[in-house]
Structure formats: C-alpha cells, structure tokens
Structure 1
C-alpha cells in the first residue's frame, strides 16, 4: 500500500487484524475508526465472552456486585468484526497471514495486543482448589469460594494478591498471604516505601507471612518450605504475569528478555506491518532513558492511539507516556505515576503511619515518579509535573499542607 492510500484513511479493502480483545485490542479498533480508518477491522480474541475490562474482576465482579465488565463499545456501529473464542497459533509475516485454530486470517496490518498471562505456581497445576485471577471465568469460579467463606491462602503479596485479599476479607473469609520476599510489593517498590504497607494486612484482619516459600499444595493445605502447614479451602496464586507471546515463536518478531514483543518508539515491531501494544510489548522511553514494559491499564488505553495513527499514515509523536496505575486495597486508594528507578532522591509528603501520604522520587530536583496513598490531588498534580520536567523546591515538596504543584520553581 502506498503512503497516499494511508493518508486517505486506508482504502476500503485494507485489512487490519488485531490479536487480543482486551483493553489494548479494543481501544486499537476504536482509535482506528476515530482517526478515520475506512478499511476492515477485525479483533480476534481467545475468550468467548464479549470483550471486557479487567480491573473490576478483583473488585465488583469477584464480590458478586456486578455480573461482568463488558466494554461500552458498539462494535456493530463501528463496523468492527469480532472473532471470539478463537485461539491464535502463529503468524507468517511473509504471507501476511495470521494462523488461528479456525484457519488462516489474512491481514495488511497486524496489531499484537495479547496482553499478559499469569505465572503458574510450580507443582500446583491441576491441583483442586488452586485458582488464578486474570479472566472473567477465573472471577466467576472464585465467587462461590468467597461466598462459602473458605480459609484462603493467597500466594504472593503483589498488587493482585493484595486486591484479592481485600475482597476475600470483605466477604468474611480467613485470609493468609504468603510472600517469599521480606515485604509486600518487593519487586516493584523499595523497602522503605513498602514497609508501611505491611501493617495494612493486619489492620484488615489478614495474616501476612513473609520469607515464606511454598513447597507444595495438597488438598486442603499449603505446605511451606519450613514444614509448616496452612489450612486452605482455596489457594489463589498471584506471583506475577508474563507477556502472552509464546505463540510468536519462529515468527521473526523480536522478543525481549521477558518474552515481550520489542517495539520501537512508535510501537512498530521488527517485522513490517506488525505493531504491538499494551502488556505484551516494551518500548523505549526517552523520558527515562530505558526500555519500559508496563503491565497496567493506562498503557493499554494510551498506546492504541499511536498504533492507529501509524496504520493510517499520520505522523504520531514518539510513544513516551508517564506510566500510571492504581490499586484499591485494604480501604486505601493507591496510585502511582512515573518510573522511579532512575531517581537519585526520595522524599516523603506526610507520615506513612497516617491514612494518607505520598512518596516522591526526584532526579536532579525534577519529579520522575510518585506514589500517592489517599492523596489523589497529589497524583494528578505530580503527573503533570513529571510531564513538564520542571525544577522543584524540595522544601515545599515535602510539606503535605501545600499543593504539590506549588513546589514548581517558576
């Protein structure tokens, strides 16, 4: 196809196939239509359900307060085709064909939006009573477990583990969370920031066991490496996720160290006419000077606009967002923006023993990341400060009584 055709919004015969019916895939289809693409758009999804949003699964859906979380998208009105319950098997870029269990699907442009899949607990596959929480079916299987108020063991004190433990306590279950590291969120936050969160578990009536490795899961019990046994009517595993890209083996699409699709700053892959967006892809960040792999909802929401602009033939700016996510756990609203590993300084706004506080990470007196607990205004103002890269006055920044934005040096 010529650039002229792309600039006109794509010819009616041009075919875009999107693999993945989650947020990134659905928003890619929506963005294509919003930006004027006139060709064929088809979304291929492995699950049979109408495309749905995932964050409510660990909250309202899990607790039976909602039957589902389908996207409010009229696919028929957008003239977007859906192929649901269709597993992808591979892609042949030279032929411009996607292989699926229902047969080959030809494309002119292909968008990889397959997201991430949960990491399984070694040795626990197929053991009765062991659950994951990633899909709508997972949430539906767990709802009666919570309703029966089982003793529940959660493996992993990360974001999903904390959110599930919160829901289980709200349902009246006895909850024990086991974490191999010395603190919650050990893989994503430094010790001094994660330490205050340890008390949240006890405050909510959940037991947190750190330095606790699971040796094996037996019917009705979890056996730890030290020999102790925990009663478990159900076990929920939340030890992380990896990009769902195994099906790309042998395709020529470059994968990174974590199995993610390696995309450039316009979310193009190493293969012509193939793009990648959302949890399955990493991208180079000029803002942070390193490649980022972001497994969060906001990335899946923002990236599709860049992909759509590329497909149509526009010239989008390099994709370099300020990463953002939130979590609701143990009665607290936790928000994070930025990327703190490049920081040279950490400052507190407020006392972490209080209900609301914020941590700010700076590099050369410019904000690069912040974590806000119960302070949404800090988050909103901080995100803008990260984007603008303005110099800040640390003395003003650390005063929780002053608006965060007032720390900017004019």
Structure 2
C-alpha cells in the first residue's frame, strides 16, 4: 500500500473516526459516513461552542435579524455522533495517531481535517473599536446591532461577501462606503471585462465604491485611506481582502501543505499522512478536468467532497473527486451563479448585455465549455453546468445568442 492509502484492512475492530471542524464539510462528512453504513465510533470536534451551523445565512438572514441562527438540521444523537464543541485542536501527532487539545490527547484511527478557512484581517486594525470580521455566528451577532442602529459603515473589500454584506447593510438603511484596493470589484476572481459592469451595482444600491485605494489606518469613528481621503465610520467591516486555509495547527505534524497553506490531498482527498483525509476549504486537490490543483473556497465543495471522503473510509477503496466547482451569491437584487474554472480558457463569449437585468458569460477552451457566470439566468447555469460536466463542444455563434438555450448550442 502507498503512503496515501489511508484505510486499514477490513476485519479489524470498528475504526474510530475523528473529524476536526464542525462547519459544512465536517458535518457532511459524519452524516455521509452513517449514510454509507459506517458503524464505528465517530467524533466531530468544533472550535466554537455553538451547535454546528451553516455560514451563508450569516451575511443575509442572520445578519438582518430574520433568523436567530443557521444550525444544521441534523440529529447527531440519533446518528450516534459524539460532539465535542468549544474545543480547540492545537496539534497533530501522526505517529501516535493523536490530536493535541487543551483537554488532553484525542486518539483516532482515521482523521478527517475539515477546519475550513479563516479571513485575512486588516493590518494594524487589531483591537481598534468598531472593526469587525464576518466569519462566525458571533461575528454576525456583534454586527446585527450595527445595522439596526444604522451606523455609517465602511466595508473593506469588494469581493463576493463584501457585496453581500453591502446589500444587507443598505437594506438596513446604513450609509455604506466600500474600499477596494484593486481597480474593480472581484479583481482576484473575474477578468476585468466581466467584473467592471458589476461596479455599477454598488451605486444603484446607494453605496459608494472607492477603488484603487487602501486603508492606511483606522481610528474610532474614521477610516483614513492611502489616497488622502478620510471616511466617517461607525463601524469598519473587513470581509473581502482574502481568506487562507485554517491549517496553522498542523505545523510540525509532517503533513504536506501547499504554498497557499492548503493541505495537499490526492484525488481521493487523502493526505500525505496515513489514515488522514482533508476536505473543504482547507484542502486542495488535483483536477484532471482542469489539469491543475484546485483550492475551492465555496459551499458546494464542502457539500460534495465529504461524500468522497466517506466512501473512501467506509469502503476502503480510492474514489476520484473531480467536481465542476460551483457557487452562488445573492447581491443587489441579483442572483449570481458560477460553475467551472475559467483559468486556461481561450474564448470568452457574452450572452446578453451587462446593462440588462440578466446576462451570462461563457468560457471555452479549444471549443469546450469550461466555465460559466450567470446573472439572474438560472436556466443558463443549470444547462451550462451539465454541459461542463459532459465536456461538451460548443458552437460559439449559438452560445453568444441569448435566445438559444445553451443545451441547443452544442456543435
């Protein structure tokens, strides 16, 4: 067996599976294990004291007070899952098959790392009153009164979550200024010709978008920018300047990490250590479909990957994980969906005018559809996602005609 063959031979005592991380990826892993008939002990460890919860509603219903929380509808007791919440895991000793925690060592036979990602903070802003992140349920709880009191808000970062938070803050009646270091929203995610039309969405909502400038310093009540402007701020919300895999606790464990800090899993989501798997935002994996290693920080990856991990653990056989990445964002009255991976594409085709309420962009590589962004065109997304999965070759002229269903635009 290779070093990455992680499961022990059949016929031994039931293996003790420990999952570190109680977000979507961790919860779906323990549920999938039981669904596949795994009967051994399963423990789910979470650093937060709350019942495991879903994160997307934090920037929407939870933030606006239309929902108190977003706990997963999972009966862990009925599934015979041991929950250990409010417990930080500080290290991994692979030779001993043990985790280090403040409550003492936690032994495992099989380990699943599902610790997700952590947001990048604003340099020099730690401890400054009124500076917030939006990653956890507690973060959302601290921000809810800010919106209720209609404070002037400065949002740092015009990424996906920055747009969602801005949408919520404007809906609550807050004056919002968004500061983005790049020259356009979503600069690290989408090419200029796709992202630039989205800048107008901020103005439509009544928010002010300042691009090409950074935060120089923050003081109570004000944000000073590198271009000399000073923006009044009852609160500063840092939501869009990046996230990194939450893997610092693995230092010294011997587990292989990539330059981006991700656990470098193989095609079956097994790590470089025996009996250790990794899934979700903390793990990168090789994609034969796209010919490169992918690190996907999105909800759907945390939903799909655990099924592969559970199958490998329960069946003891390798399985290939090579999804078409997918995510969505609700912002400024629009439903934005993306499927695929457009790096390496050689052709960009528009379906519709970005000034219209709904439009789509398609990316082809050597005539094959590899990615698609749909703005309020869910049918394009649904059909396009299936075409990407099938590796469909497309007729560019028909793809560019928004009146032609994508499923009818194959060549």
TM-score range for the pair, normalised by the shorter chain length: over 0.9
Determine the C-alpha separation between the residues in 2 that align with 1:317 and 1:17.
Answer: 20
Determine the C-alpha separation between the residues in 2 that align with 1:113 and 1:296.
Answer: 13
Query: Does 1:101 find its partner at 2:102?
Result: yes
Give 3-state SS (helix, strand or coil) of 2:61's partner. Answer: coil
Give 3-state SS (helix, strand or coil) of 2:213's partner. Answer: coil
Instruction: Return the offset for 1:313.
Output: 2.6
Correspondence 1:1-400 to 2 at 5 A: 2-5=8-11, 11-12=13-14, 14-238=15-239, 239-400=241-402
Instruction: Return the offset for 1:11.
Output: 3.9
Instruction: Return the offset for 1:316.
Output: 4.8
Unaligned 5+ runs, structure 1: none
Determine the C-alpha separation between the residues in 1 that align with 2:8 and 2:27.
Answer: 26
Determine the C-alpha separation between the residues in 2 that align with 1:142 and 1:262.
Answer: 35
Kept in 2: contact 1:62–1:140 (CA 8 A) = yes
Determine the C-alpha separation between the residues in 1 that align with 2:169 and 2:71.
Answer: 23
Determine the C-alpha separation between the residues in 2 that align with 1:225 and 1:327.
Answer: 30
Determine the C-alpha separation between the residues in 2 that align with 1:27 and 1:11.
Answer: 24
Give 3-state SS (helix, strand or coil) of 2:259's partner. Answer: coil
Structure 1 stretches of 4+ with a deviation exceeding 3 A read 314-317
Instruction: Return the offset for 1:364.
Output: 1.0
Instruction: Return the offset for 1:314.
Output: 4.4
Q: Which moved more, 1:304-313 or 1:58-67?
A: 304-313
Determine the C-alpha separation between the residues in 1 that align with 2:112 and 2:75.
Answer: 20
Kept in 2: contact 1:3–1:313 (CA 8 A) = no
Name the residue aligned to 2:3: none
Kept in 1: contact 2:338–2:381 (CA 8 A) = yes
Determine the C-alpha separation between the residues in 2 that align with 1:313 and 1:91.
Answer: 25
Determine the C-alpha separation between the residues in 1 that align with 2:391 and 2:115.
Answer: 33
- Which string of whole-angstrom CA distances, capped at 9 and with x for unpartnered residues, describes residues 304-326 of structure 1? 01111111134353100000000
Determine the C-alpha separation between the residues in 2 that align with 1:85 and 1:2.
Answer: 30
Give 3-state SS (helix, strand or coil) of 1:103's partner. Answer: coil
Q: Which moved more, 1:286-295 or 1:314-323?
A: 314-323
Aligned residues: 404
TM-score, structure 1 as length reference:
0.97
Kept in 2: contact 1:180–1:211 (CA 8 A) = yes
Determine the C-alpha separation between the residues in 2 that align with 1:187 and 1:390.
Answer: 27
Instruction: Return the offset for 1:102.
Output: 1.1
Kept in 2: contact 1:254–1:270 (CA 8 A) = yes
Kept in 1: contact 2:256–2:271 (CA 8 A) = yes
- Which string of whole-angstrom CA distances, capped at 9 and with x for unpartnered residues, describes residues 75-123 of structure 1? 0010001000000010100000011111110000000000000100000
Determine the C-alpha separation between the residues in 1 that align with 2:137 and 2:280.
Answer: 19
Instruction: Return the offset for 1:395.
Output: 1.2
Instruction: Return the offset for 1:390.
Output: 1.5
Kept in 1: contact 2:8–2:316 (CA 8 A) = no
Q: Which moved more, 1:353-362 or 1:391-400?
A: 391-400
Determine the C-alpha separation between the residues in 2 that align with 1:211 and 1:169.
Answer: 22
Give 3-state SS (helix, strand or coil) of 2:274's partner. Answer: coil
- Which string of whole-angstrom CA distances, capped at 9 and with x for unpartnered residues, describes residues 302-350 of structure 1? 0001111111134353100000000001110000000001101000000
Instruction: Return the offset for 1:227.
Output: 1.8
Q: CA RMSD in A?
A: 0.9
Determine the C-alpha separation between the residues in 1 that align with 2:309 and 2:103.
Answer: 26
